[in-house]
Amino acid sequence: LYREPDLSYVISTAESIRPHLHNEHLVILESTTYPKTTEGVLREALERDDLKAGKDFYLAYSPEREDPGNVNFSTTQIPKVVGGFDEASLVVAQALYEQIVPETVPVSSAATAEAVKLTENIFRSVNIALVNELKIIYDKMGIDIWEVIEAAKTKPFGYMPFYPGPGLGGHCIPIDPFYLTWKAREYDCPTRFIELAGEINTAMPEYVVQRTTDELNQRNKSVKDARILILGLAYKKNVGDPRESPTFELMRHFTEKGANVDYYDPYIPEVPATRRYSTFTGKKSIDWNPQAIAQYDLTLIATAHDNIDYQCLADHAQLIIDTRNAMSRVENPKATVVRA
């Protein structure tokens, strides 16, 4: 909530391991965290008077690398960055991972490995914020950001496509960059890019709500008492993970404005308990059929799952607010489609 690291789970896990830790054991942290967590907080939680890291047991850090829903990459295909508390710990940790992954990437310290993971996630956060800002600017100019990106990515060098959306979700990108922001204060270093990217991405749900409100107003309808269907509760397509999903913020905004909000997600039949959105806990996904779709004043696409029948949506929805360019796969939709 306050963008401060919560290492309570790491510490409690380490403390539960400590009584069972013996000579020659190897402990590896994989959770994303700020630099020097492994050599500081984790080490201190593990050590006993008779057992010291680097002397009696091995200690290392190797960040988890995965892309949920991506069938092209699995753990056995992705190189593993490894950093040790000392040289011996690095050697032992590498020996372990070399049995599992195609390649290990050794770095000079555990802190460096921790920084690698943060850099990867910050890179994504900043670039997503950039295209989200460009989307807003280009929309006011009457330019389609999706067309711009498709054309730009034909350049075979110096460009990597990132795509806009209704906000960031997942347990990594919205949260992890601020580990570095927090730690950087200790060194009196500002993190302007990280914080600005966070502000832009956090503001996207509100932008989408305003665009939706404008579209309803143009049709002489109010958000209050409007029936709104949000397509997708998961934070990204083709997964059943709703953690930090921007859909929760969309639901909150619309509900506070008096709208009647439902959702459909084939991967999440019921809203699980969350830290901040208990109001929606237990809410169930609607049944997907033409009659159900037709009864809503608008459908907002927040997550573009591949197994959605977008033709059915195009044929029966009244108004579609598309934040993911999902309707580009449908030709001549009967419904009005607005990109937002």
Active site residue ranges: 172
Q: In angstroms, how far is CA 85 from the centroid of its own chain? A: 29
318 Rama sector, left if φ>0, alpha if ψ -120 to 50, beta otherwise? alpha
Decide if 228 contacts 262 (C-beta within 8 A): yes
Tell me the two tokens of residue 28: 């590896």
Decide if 278 contacts 200 (C-beta within 8 A): no
CB within 8 Å of 300: residues ≥ 6 apart? 208, 212, 228, 229, 230, 231, 250, 320, 321, 323, 340
Give the Cβ contact number of residue 55 at 10 Å: 10
Query: Which of 299, 196, 203, 195 minimizes the C-alpha distance to 246?
Result: 203
Instruction: Give how far Cα 256 sits from Cα of 110, 206, 209, 220, 223, Å.
Output: 45, 12, 11, 20, 10
Give the H/E segment covering residue 150.
helix 145-152
Q: What secondary structure does DSSP assign to 234-278, as a single string?
A: SSSTT----TT-HHHHHHHHHHHTT-EEEEE-TT-SBPPP-SS-G
The C-alpha atoms of residue 288 and residue 277 are separated, in whole angstroms, by 24
